[in-house]
Structure 1
Amino acid sequence: MLRLHFTAEDLLRVTFAAEPAPLMELGFAIAMLQREAVPQFARWQRRTRESLSPETTALFSLVPPTARGPMFLDPLSKGLDEGLDRVRATPLSRVRAELGRVCPAHRPITPWVKELAVHEREAWQTLEHALRAAHSALIDEPWGRIEAGFQAERAWRTRLLARDGIRTTLAGLAAGGRWEGTTLVFPRPDETDAGLSGHGVVLLPSALWSRPMVALYDDEPSILIYPAVTPLPLLDEAPTDPLGVLLGRTRAAILDLLPHGHSTSDIAKELGISKSSASEHTKTLRDARLIVTQRDGKAVWHSCTPLGLELLRGAGTVG
C-alpha cells in the first residue's frame, strides 16, 4: 500500500502540473524497461530494449525497476536543457545523500557512481551524454503524443475536481484509491508510508508508469505521480478528437458504445477487434471508473457510469 498522510495545509495546496516533465518521464521509461512485462507496455518494452545503445543502458546502474533512483536526476522542468541545468546544479551534499540512498540498497556501487559522488568532471559529462542519448531514444519522438495526452488528462481531472471535489478526485487517480481519514491510500505490492510537509502536492500524470508513487520534499510541494488513463503505447499517433487523446481511439470508441449496454462479444464484433483485446480495454475503462461490468451467465455486459456519461457529454458525443 501507498499511504499518503495529508495535513489541512496540503489539501489546500493541491495543484496540477502545467506540463509533463521530460526527465521524470525519462526516469520512468528507464525503470519500465527493466521490469518484467507489464501488459499495456509489453510490446513497447520488447521493441525498445532491442534498440537501446550501451550509452543509454548505463543509466540502469542508477535507476532501478522501482523507479526510485536518485531524485536529483528527474527534476520538474519545461524542457530537456532546463532539466539538465537543474541536474548539474544539484548540491554535492544532495548528490551524495541520494546516491547513498539508492546504492547499494537498489543498485551496485560502481566506479562511475563513486566518481559521480565526488563530482568528478568526466563522470558528470558521461551522465549528461547518457541522459541526452536516452531522451533521444525514448522520449523525443513520442513527446508530442505525451503532451497531448497530458493536456487532455489535466483538463478532464480539472473538470472532475470542480464537480466532485478534492477528496473524490484524488481517490480516483488510480484504481482502488480510498481515504482513511486524512490518509490517501492506493493499493501497491510494497508498503510505503509517506507524511507530507504542509507545502502541498503537485499532481503529475505519467504516460510511462503504471502505479502511483510520491516524491517527497521538505521545503517545497511534493509530487504525486499517477498513471495516466492512457499509457504511451496506446496513445494514438495522430489523435483527432479530445476523447481519443485522453483514452486512445479504441477505448474512446468502446466508451461511445456503452451509454447502452454491450457485451464483450458485441464490442469486439462492432469494432472489429478480438475478444481478448476488448476485455483488456474494458478493464482499463472499469479501473478508471468510466464503466461498470456485470456477468449474466456466460456473457459479460458493460455500461457507462455517470462519470463515463459525463465524459462523453463533455466531448459532445451524447446529449
Structure 2
Amino acid sequence: MGVWLIGVDALARGRFAVSALAETVAALIGLARGGGSRPGRERWRQVHAPAFEERLARDPFAAAFVSDVLGPRWLPDFLVTPPLPGDRTFDDELRRLRATPARSALAHIVEALDGAPLPRALLVPDLPDRVAELLDWVWTRTVRPEWPRYRRLFEADIATRTQSLTSGGWAAALSGLRPGMRWLGDGRLRVNAYPYPPREISGAQLLFIPTTAPRGWVGRDEPRRYAITYPCSGLLAEPGAGRRVPEEALGRLIGPTRAAILTQLGAPKSTTQLVALTGYTLGSVGGHLKVLLEARLVHRRRSGRVVLYHRTPLGDSLVGDGPPQLG
C-alpha cells in the first residue's frame, strides 16, 4: 500500500478510536504466532494457549485459517474492516463481519494468500460465520475478562496522542505509531515500505486504532473508510510483574490512591492518562501528584503543551523497580 495521499477533508475528519473486534484480532494473532507476542504479553499467552490449541485441534477450518491466513504480511480485508461510528460493542462489529458475503470473504483470503495455495478446509459455504465463531471464542475466553483494563489503556494512549496532535499536528501525533509508518508532510502518509503506487484517500473516514498487537495492520472498506491499527504504548509490564513490594503494602504505606498512581509512573504519563488508567477524577489525581512531587517520589517535565510525570529513583525503589536505597 506504500504511501497514502490524504485529502484535507479526510485528514480533518481523522480520529482515534477503540475497537473490541480489532483487539480480538490482535489476540488471535498473538495466540497464533506465539513468539510474535509483545513483551509483557508472554504470561497472557501461556495462560490461554493450551485451550486455544485444543480448540484448533477440534476444528480443521479454524486450524487452516490460523496457520495459512494469519500470515506475517496481509490480513484479509473482511477481518479488519474499520468500525462504523455506530458500533458500540464487540457484537456490533462481529455482526457486520458475519454479514460479509461468503464469496467476498473467500476473495479477500485469496488476495491475502498472495499466490499461495488455498487450503481445502477453507472451502466452506458459511466461511464468514466460521471465522466469526473463532473470533467470538477468542473474545469470550481471552479478551472480554480484561476488556475494561485494555479499554482504559487504549483511551490513555489516545489521550496522549490527541494532546500531541493539538500541540504538534499530525506529524507529532503519528510519530512512532507503528513500524514502517511515517508522516511525510503535504498530505502524504507512508503506511508501510512496500513499493506500491500511492493510494489517493479523499472524502473517506480515517481511523487510528490502538491494540496489543506487536506491529498493527491496515484495514479498509473502500472507498468509504480506512483504518490503521497500531501497537498501544504502556503494555510492556504485566500487572504486578517485577515488583518486590506488593501494591497492597505500598498502599498501607502511602495510601491506596497514591500507590496506584505511583505504580503507573514507570514510564512518563500525563494527568489525563492517569485518570484513564486509574479511574480516579482529575482533581484527585492532581492532588495526589502534588504530594508525590513534594515527597520527591516523582518528577515532572513539559513536552509541548503536555506535562508528563514519572518516578524518581526513590519512587522506583519504593515500588520495587529499582535498586534499594541505602542510607
TM range (shorter): 0.5 to 0.7
Superposition RMSD on alpha carbons, in Å? 4.1
1:60 pairs with one of 59, 66, 74: 66
The corresponding residue for 1:291 is: none
Amino acid at match of 1:79: T
Aligned to 2:145, the other structure's residue is in SS state: coil
> Are 2:92 and 1:82 equivalent residues in the alignment?
yes
Distance in 2 between residues matched to 1:48 and 1:134, nearest whole Å: 9
Q: Secondary structure at the match of 1:259?
A: strand
1:109 equivalent among 118, 123, 134:
118
CA distance, structure 1, for counterparts of residue 112 and residue 322 of structure 2: 43
Q: Is residue 210–residue 227 contact of structure 1 (8 Å, CA) maintained in 2?
A: yes
Write the distance in 2 (CA, Å) between the matches of 1:36 and 1:192. Answer: 28
State the TM-score, normalized to the length of structure 1.
0.65
Q: Say if 2:267 and 2:310, in contact at 8 Å, map to a contact too.
A: no
SS of corresponding position for 2:228: strand
Aligned residues: 262
| 2:143 equivalent in structure 1 | 139
Query: 2:97 and 2:310 mapped to 1: Cα distance?
Result: 51
Please name the residue that 1:202 is paired with.
207
Shift, 1:144, TM fit: 0.9
Report which of the two structures shows the higher radius of gyration computed on alpha carbons.
2
Change (3 A) 1:264 1:196: farther
Q: Distance in 1 between matches of 2:178 and 2:172?
A: 11
Aligned match of 1:251: 266
In structure 1, give the amino acid aligned to 2:74. Answer: R
> What SS does the corresponding residue of 1:36 show, helix, strand or coil?
helix
Letter in 2 for 1:32: G
Q: For 1:32, which of 30, 41, 44 is the aligned residue? A: 30
Alpha-carbon separation, structure 1, partners of 2:98 and 2:181: 36
Task: Kindly provide the amino acid, as one letter, of the partner of residue 203 in structure 1.
Answer: F
Distance apart, 1:141 and its partner CA: 0.7
Question: Secondary structure of 2:183's partner?
Answer: strand
> Contact conserved, 1:70 with 1:99, CA < 8 A, in 2?
yes
Amino-acid identity (%)? 21
Q: What is the Cα deviation at residue 130 of structure 1?
A: 2.1
For residues 235 and 8 of structure 1, the distance between their equivalents in structure 2, rounded to whole angstroms, comes to 41
Q: CA 1:175 to 1:234, structure 2 compared with 1: closer, same or farther past 3 Å?
A: farther
Cα shift at 1:272? 1.6
TM-score where L is the length of structure 2: 0.64
User: Per chain length, whose mean CA-contact separation is higher, i.e. which structure has more relative contact order (CA < 8 Å, sep 6+)?
Assistant: 2
User: Distance in 1 between the 2:156 and 2:269 partners?
Assistant: 18
Superposed displacement of residue 225, structure 1: 1.4
For residue 215 of structure 2, give the secondary structure of its aligned residue in structure 1: coil
Greater mean deviation of Cα atoms: 228-237 or 7-16: 228-237
Where do 5+ consecutive residues of structure 1 fail to align? 276-319
Correspondence 1:219-298 to 2 at 5 A: 219-231=223-235, 234=238, 249-252=264-267, 257-259=298-300, 268-273=316-321
Structure 2 Cα separation of the partners of residues 232 and 147 of structure 1 = 16
Could you say which residue in structure 2 is the equivalent of 1:289?
none
